[in-house]
Amino acid sequence: GAGVSQSPSNKVTEKGKDVELRCDPISGHTALYWYRQSLGQGLEFLIYFQGNSAPDKSGLPSDRFSAERTGGSVSTLTIQRTQQEDSAVYLCASSSGTGLGEQYFGPGTRLTVT
Amino acid sequence: AQRVTQPEKLLSVFKGAPVELKCNYSYSGSPELFWYVQYSRQRLQLLLRHISRESIKGFTADLNKGETSFHLKKPFAQEEDSAMYYCALRGGSYIPTFGRGTSLIVHP
């Protein structure tokens, strides 16, 4: 079956531009997570969606970062006025039920800010 | 607060040698511990979780609450084990905390 998909796979943007990253979770999974993976920094939690509940945005590093999830399925992570330090791989993961089960990760979007 | 420490950024061993990837955690309650693996050019995937007490691809990990550790072990490393390994902890919330990862290189 189809796993978690993300697009684009690679994104190169100029400093100051806005970018949108997309995540399609596994069908039926109600929990969705965004992480940032930087070299030597591991996985940094960004935001968590669970069904129709208000998202947990506690991991967003600044107000330039935002995310939404439409219809409880597809999610978009938006970074406004990108900075070079935003360069990283952005991972999306989904999980069934309350999110206590295994997380299934997407392939990631590699963002490079020049 | 919950924290996961993987003290080794890089672990290099020869094929057939035993391997132990260290993971120490900090959490006041009863945690749920995981090991995730990312092979080259593949997505991050679950390797094992402590509650299932399984051996996956020859790897085992035992939760030691006294030492607050969840080290990943394999008695005889294989070249195909070369990958990035992440230890993760989930405490009272639905948001797991990941360690910084250990890159395992198994030489022929």
| DSSP per residue, A22-67 | EEEPPTT--EEEEEEEETTTEEEEEEEEETTSPPB-TT--STTEEE
Closest CA to A106 of A95, A98, A96: A95
B9 close to B22: Cβ distance less than 8 angstroms: no
Cα angle A97-A107-B57, degrees, rounded to a multiple of 5: 75
pLDDT in tens, A65-114: 999 998 878 999 999 999 999 999 999 999 986 656 788 999 999 999 99
Q: How far apart are CA B43 and CA B70, in angstroms?
A: 23
Among A90, A103, A104, the strongest candidate for a mutation testing the B interface, having the largest count of B CBs within 10 A, is A103
CB contact under 8 A, B46 and A100: no
CB contact under 8 A, B96 and A103: yes
Closest CA to A32 of A3, A73, A1: A73
CB contact under 8 A, A107 and B49: no
Three-state helix/strand/coil letters over B45-76: EEEEEHHHCCCECCEEECCECCCCECCEEECC
Query: Which single residue is written with the structure tokens 């978009």?
Result: A76
Q: How far apart are CA A86 and CA B70, in angstroms?
A: 31
Q: How far apart are CA B75 and CA B93, in angstroms?
A: 34
- In one letter, which amino acid is B12? S
CB contact under 8 A, A105 and B100: no
pLDDT at B33: 92
CB contact under 8 A, A45 and B46: no
Q: Per-residue confidence of chain B (108 residues) as pLDDT tens digits?
A: 789 999 999 999 999 999 999 999 999 888 899 999 999 999 999 999 887 778 889 999 989 989 999 999 999 999 999 999 999 998 877 788 999 999 999 999
- Which residues of chain B approach chain A closer than 8 Å at the C-beta? 6, 9, 32, 43-46, 49, 86, 88, 90, 93-101
Is A71 touching B (CB cutoff 8 A)?
no
CB contacts, 8 Å: B96 with chain A: 45, 103
pLDDT at A98: 62
Burial class (CB in 10 A: 0-12, 13-18, 19+), B101: buried
- In one letter, which amino acid is A11? K
CB contact under 8 A, A40 and B45: no
